[in-house]
Each structure stands twice: as C-alpha cells, then as structure tokens.
Amino acid sequence: MTAEGEKRSAGRAMAGRLSWGLADQAASSMTNFAVGIYVARSLGLAAFGVFSLAWVTYGVVLNVSRGLATDPLVVRFSGPPDASWRTAVARSSGAALGMGTALGAACVLIGLGLGGRVGPAFVCLGVVLPALLLQDAWRFAFFAAGTGRKAFTNDLVWGVALVPAMVVAAHVGSVAAFVLAWGVSAAVAAVYGCLQSGIRPQVTGARAWLRAHRDLGYRYLVENTCVSGASQLRAYGLGAIVGVGAVGAVRGAELLLGPFLAVLMGLSLVTVAEAARVLRRAPHRLARFCLLLGGGQAAAALLWGAALLLMPDRFGELVLGGVWHSASELIVPATLGVVGAGLGTGAAAGLRALAAARRSLRSQLFASACYVGGGLGGAAAAGTVGSAWGVAAATVGGSAVWWLHLRSALRERHHNPIPEVRTT
C-alpha cells in the first residue's frame, strides 16, 4: 500500500472510532436525559434541585474513578487488545469497583446524617455507585482497545434496562426512587460488560494498579475532581445564595444543551486515545488535530445554542414542564460556557496524549478556580442569571490557559523528545 493509501486508511479508521464514540455517548446521554426529564416533569423544580445535588455529587465520584483508574488506562494502553491490555483492564476495573464501594459507603453515611429531602437521595446514590463506576470503566476499556462498538452496545443494554426501572420509579414518585432506577439499570450493563470483555474486575489488583500509575493517576485525580468539585461547589453555593430552585434551573439549562453535550462527552471518550495514536504516528500533526477538534466543537455549540433560542415556548414546556421558564433565561450564557469548554477539550486531549500531567493539572486548577469564583460571584451579584454569565466568562478564560500550556508542552517535546513507554 502506498503512503497516501495508508494515510487514507488511517483516516477512515479514526473516523470510525470517533463515530462509535459519538454513538455511544448518544446512548449514554439518552439514559441520563430521560432520568432528568422524568424528575423535572414529575416532581417539580424543588425536587429537581435535590436530584441535581445528588447528580453533581455522582460527578465528583465518577471523576475520582476516572482519574485513578481509567484515564491512565487510556493514555498507556490504547491499542489492539493483548495480554497486557487484559491485565490492565482487570486491575483498572477492579480499582473502579473498589472506589465505588468505599465512596458509596461514605455517601450512605452522609445521607443518613442529612435526612430531610436530600438524605434519601444520597443514601440511594451510595448504594448504586459501585455499579455506576464499573459500567463507566468498561466503556473506557473498550475505547482504549479501539472497540467502541462494544461500549455502544453496553450503553444500549443500560437504556433498555432503564425503561422498566423508570416505570416503577414513576409510580413511587420520589427522587430516591429515580436514583435507584438509574443505578440498578446501570448494574445490568456493568454485569454485561464482564461478559463482553471476558474479564473479571480484580479488586485485589487495585493497589498494584494505583502504585504502578501514580505518576499520572494522582495528578489526573486532582485535575478531574477540580472539574466536578467546582461544579459541586457552585451548585451548593448557588443553592445557599439563591435557593434550591436555582440549582434546578441551571440543571434544566444543561438538559436543553444535552444533545450537544452528548457530542462533547462522546468525543472526549476517544479523543485522548486518538491523540495518542496521532502522536505516535505523526507527532507534527498533533497540534492541528487538537485545533480542529476544539474549533469544531465550539462551532457546533454555537449552532445548537442558536437553535435553542428559536425554540417555541410550548415545546420547551413540553420537554421541561415548569422548569422551562427558569432554564430558558440561561440559554445564551450556558451556550457560551459550552463553547469555551469545547475549545478547551482540544488542548486537553493533546496534553493528555503528551502525558504532560503537570501542565494539564495547572490548567485545570486555574479553570476550576475561575469557574467557582465566576459562578458564586455572579450569583451574589445577580442571582441565577449572574451565576450563568460568570461561569461562561470563566470557561472561555480557562480555555485560553489550556491552549497556552499545550503550546508550551509541544515546544518542550520538540526540544526534548521522550520515547513512549507502554507500562506492563
């Protein structure tokens, strides 16, 4: 095969893997979207705010698991499955399951202590966390192997299992019931992931995994928890400053952006692995790959936001019920925030591929500090809308920092190239 033919073949293979990433995230996001819509329409703004607090807490725990368990897997084991990949997946999925059990127990204790409306939701979240984290670990394992089709199938199984679970939750009519329905259906997909991969999670291998990849894992842990932790601090602070209903309004705006966020998250599942492949095969193309990735996502976010602004009120009320009017006021700043996030993800993928954990950590710490400061400062100054605008400004500024660090990392690599090491 000629060099040009090999280039076209590699391009088609990359497009196929990216397509499976989008398809998988579409399936995953539909499950999350369905849960959010059911709660918003069935239980009203205040209950939706309670659900959103549990949701952002789940986001923190998920990012702890990804930072320590699955992000190092994607960086160091992206390629065709082999013996080392199988060992790595067994240990990384075991680490995810172990963290889900430990942090789930903590959530149960916190929920029992809180009581009231919020407590039962946190108790139920703690019960289902092990299944949720294990299911997510299978997705990353499949994408690291370049078999995104299996991740897509796994999320379809989750979606099918969610249907009867949601019917039962709707009859019960509580936030806790919806959290349980969401988690129990994820458990079905987690078990199916074991069958798909032919691998059993090795919880006993978790310590060896964390020790072997601590150079990346601990930095990714801080970086990832900065993202979700900032979101959690903003949600809690917004609830304290403005009220729980404001948290529901923000989550409602995020649901309106849900289909585009599905694209953004779907690409994030495969972009690090693809950037790592580009770095190995054609290092000089990495910057262009990251720029196309970030710019394309930002442009798509603008188009989606424009479509939302043209959406009739009656359709918005059909989707979100009573949450629509509060959420619709946040469409413009929420869209600009996603534009900034889209730009930043291109640079973030490049830094992850370069294993420049120190630079990516610095970028994320800065971006997260701006996010919390902008969100809470805006809330204090102008309520829910002010918080949304503060977050939008912070996200765009954080994106600029990501790109500055990527440029510096690429210059460093050019002057001091370091051969890739595949950890066994």
One-letter amino acid of 197: S
Tens digit of pLDDT for each residue in 164-193?
998 898 888 788 888 898 899 999 999 999
With a cut of 50, say whether residue 360 has pLDDT above it.
Answer: yes
Between 192 and 114, residue with greater pLDDT: 192
The whole-model pTM stands at 0.68
**Averaged pLDDT for residues 339-358:** 86
pLDDT at 11: 53
Task: Check pLDDT > 50 for residue 369.
Answer: yes
* Confidence band for 56, pLDDT divided at 50, 70 and 90: confident
| pLDDT value of residue 45 | 67
Determine the pLDDT at residue 422. 44
pLDDT tens for each residue of 250-308:
878 877 886 666 666 656 656 777 787 788 778 888 889 889 888 988 888 899 889 88
Say which range, 189-198, 353-362, 399-408, has the weakest mean pLDDT. Answer: 353-362
Which of 6, 118, 132 lies closest to 52 in space, CA to CA?
118
Query: What percent of the chain stands above pLDDT 70?
Result: 84
Q: Is the pLDDT of residue 421 over 50?
A: no
Task: Render pLDDT for 64-73 as a digit per residue (tens, 0 to 9).
Answer: 899 899 988 9
pLDDT-based confidence at residue 91 (cuts at 50, 70, 90): very high
pLDDT above 60 for 126: yes
Per-residue pLDDT, 391: 92
| Region 120-138 average pLDDT | 94
Strands (DSSP E) along 191-350, which ranges?
none
Indicate the pLDDT class of residue 357, thresholds 50, 70 and 90. confident
| pLDDT of amino acid 170 | 81
pLDDT band at 366 (very low <50, low <70, confident <90, very high): very high
What is the mean pLDDT of the segment spanning 354-376? 88
For residue 48, pLDDT over 70 is answered with: yes
Question: To the nearest whole number, what is the mean pLDDT of the chain?
Answer: 83
pLDDT at 193: 95
Residue 416 backbone phi and psi in degrees, to 5: -135, 70
Give the type of residue at 173: G
Q: Are 187 and 131 in contact (CB under 8 A)?
A: yes
pLDDT for the residue 128: 95
pLDDT band at 197, cuts 50/70/90? very high
pLDDT at 349: 87
Q: Find the helix or strand (DSSP H, E) in which 73 lies.
A: helix 71-76
Q: How far apart are CA 418 and CA 412, in angstroms?
A: 10
Residue keyed to tokens 């694209």: 263
Give me the pLDDT at residue 265, please. 62
- Give how far the C-alpha of residue 145 lies from the chain's centroid of Cα atoms, to the nearest Å: 19
- Other beta carbons within 10 angstroms of residue 254's beta carbon come to 19
Rounded Cα distance, 417 and 277, in Å = 16
> Which one is predicted more confidently, 63 or 8?
63
Q: With contact defined as beta carbons under 8 Å apart, do 77 and 88 qualify?
A: yes
Highest mean pLDDT (candidates 41-45, 70-74, 101-105): 101-105
pLDDT for residue 419:
42
What contacts 398, CB < 8 A, 6 or more positions away?
A: 340, 344, 363, 366, 367, 368, 370, 371
Distance CA 346, CA 356 (A): 14
Report the percent of the chain where pLDDT is more than 90.
Answer: 30
Residue 374 has a pLDDT of 92
Indicate the range of 126-130, 271-275, 333-337 predicted with least confidence: 271-275
Q: How confident is the model at residue 423 (pLDDT cuts 50, 70, 90)?
A: very low
Q: Which tens digit of pLDDT belongs to each residue from 217-263?
A: 888 888 777 766 787 788 878 888 887 778 778 878 877 886 666 66
